[in-house]
Structure 1
Amino acid sequence: MINEQPELDEAAFWFDPLCPWAWVTSRWLLEVEQVRPVRADWRIMSLAYLNLEQREDKGLSDDYRALMEKAWGSVRVCAAAAEHAGRDVLGPLYTAIGTRLHNQRRREDPTVITEALAETGLPLSLASAATSTEFDQLIRASHDEAFNEVGLDVGTPVLRVGGTALFGPVLRKAPRGEAAGQLWDGLVMVAATDGFFELKRSRDSKPSFE
């Protein structure tokens, strides 16, 4: 008798590599894959596009505006990589970039992108996409798929659960093992509730990448 593998639920996850909160949530989703029949479907969004072009409130500080301009770089490289090798490469590439940006705290290191490309077996020439607008329309299209559902008053991460796109969960630290699965179960129940919009509390600590 052949043992049939359970059908996996696709969990679309939109990320900007620069966001530390999305990074923590993405590590939780990898844990969920180990304890629930779930497969992460990695998608790109852009904090730069959201904050510099979409939102009507342009009251950004000079420092934050500069950070947003810089944020284009890594997500453009992700878009170029997906165009080159297919969207399945986004998960490994995001892990390679995010580990360096967040766990290793190398946000100002210009070698992060080329190292991440090398680790995932991608051409180093894709690094040139960081300063090119060639793939911006692909980024906007992926981004709009999520934000047309959740609205512009949220950020990243955006996660689609059971056909419903939600902002979050925003986590200080990624739950592991069965705790990760239980959080997923709760989100499934919330997402299935007709008319559900929001749960939130103020953040009082920085993200932990342990």
Structure 2
Amino acid sequence: MINEQPDREIVPFWFDPLCPWAWITSRWLLEVELVRPVRADWRIMSLAYLNLDQREGKGLSDDYRELMTKAWGLVRVCAAASEHGGRGVLGPLYTALGTRLHNQRRRDDPTVVTEALAETGLPASLAAAAMSTEFDQLIKDSHHEAFDEVGLDVGTPVLRISGTTLFGPVVTPAPRGEAAGRLWDGLVMVAGTDGFFELKRSRDRKATFE
């Protein structure tokens, strides 16, 4: 049953388009919008900035370091799109990018960005931002909004519930319907508990996008 209450809690959600776990969590949050009075507020962070700059690349394999270098491109395009059309374009653009990157498994397809821009009605010229540092400060400013609060020992997804910034939830596959709502209810309770920091177990399955 869709919750039709007019007053919805705004839930800031920080994502890097490259992260499969953030993608799954983002799809869960869209499900939550259908069953609880919340609305996602999409914001960007950078795994490349987190891992290569803030963490100084410590403990990274050569392959992962190369992946992080490439990760700048996608989030730069998102930043450029936000500057061009306002932050409201990030949700549709993230959906267009994530569907191609994760559901369609097209991470190495160079046409993903231009297709996603076209789908969301944004100019193809924004794709050039992938190779530019013009929007890096905007990315870092958005990134710090989350990570100055949540700390550097986490990644993405990061969301804020009633003023409390949390890493997670990390879940696969994305809960649907009322199951999505129940997970949300649990997070609200956790976020409202003073002094709560961590609840975790090791992952025993790969990310599932369907």
TM-score range, shorter chain: over 0.9
Match of 1:138 in 2: 138
For 2:6 and 2:132, locate their aligned partners in 1 and report how far apart those are by CA, in whole Å.
42
Q: Does 1:178 align with 2:189?
A: no
Match of 2:74 in 1: 74
Shift of 1:87: 0.2
Shift of 1:172: 1.5
**Deviates most, 54-63 or 187-196:** 54-63
Shift of 1:204: 1.0
Give the AA of the match of 2:83: E
Aligned length: 207
Q: Which runs of 5+ in 1 are unaligned?
A: none
Match of 2:7 in 1: 7
Q: 1:136 to 1:122 in 2, by over 3 A?
A: same
Describe how 1:27-38 pairs up with structure 2 within 5 A: 27-38=27-38
**Deviates most, 5-14 or 24-33:** 5-14
Q: Does 1:93 align with 2:93?
A: yes
Q: Secondary structure at the match of 2:174?
A: coil
Q: Secondary structure at the match of 1:14?
A: strand
RMSD between aligned alpha carbons?
Answer: 1.0
Q: Does 1:108 align with 2:108?
A: yes
Give the AA of the match of 2:110: P
Q: Secondary structure at the match of 1:91?
A: helix
Q: Does 1:58 align with 2:58?
A: yes
Match of 1:188 in 2: 188
| TM-score normalised by the chain length of structure 1 | 0.97
Identity %: 82
For 1:49 and 1:86, locate their aligned partners in 2 and report how far apart those are by CA, in whole Å.
22
Match of 1:121 in 2: 121
Give the AA of the match of 2:171: L
Q: 1:77 to 1:32 in 2, by over 3 A?
A: same
Give the AA of the match of 2:46: S
For 1:42 and 1:134, locate their aligned partners in 2 and report how far apart those are by CA, in whole Å.
21
Give the AA of the match of 1:62: D
| TM-score normalised by the chain length of structure 2 | 0.97
Q: Which runs of 5+ in 2 are unaligned?
A: none
Q: 1:61 to 1:191 in 2, by over 3 A?
A: same
For 1:142 and 1:169, locate their aligned partners in 2 and report how far apart those are by CA, in whole Å.
20
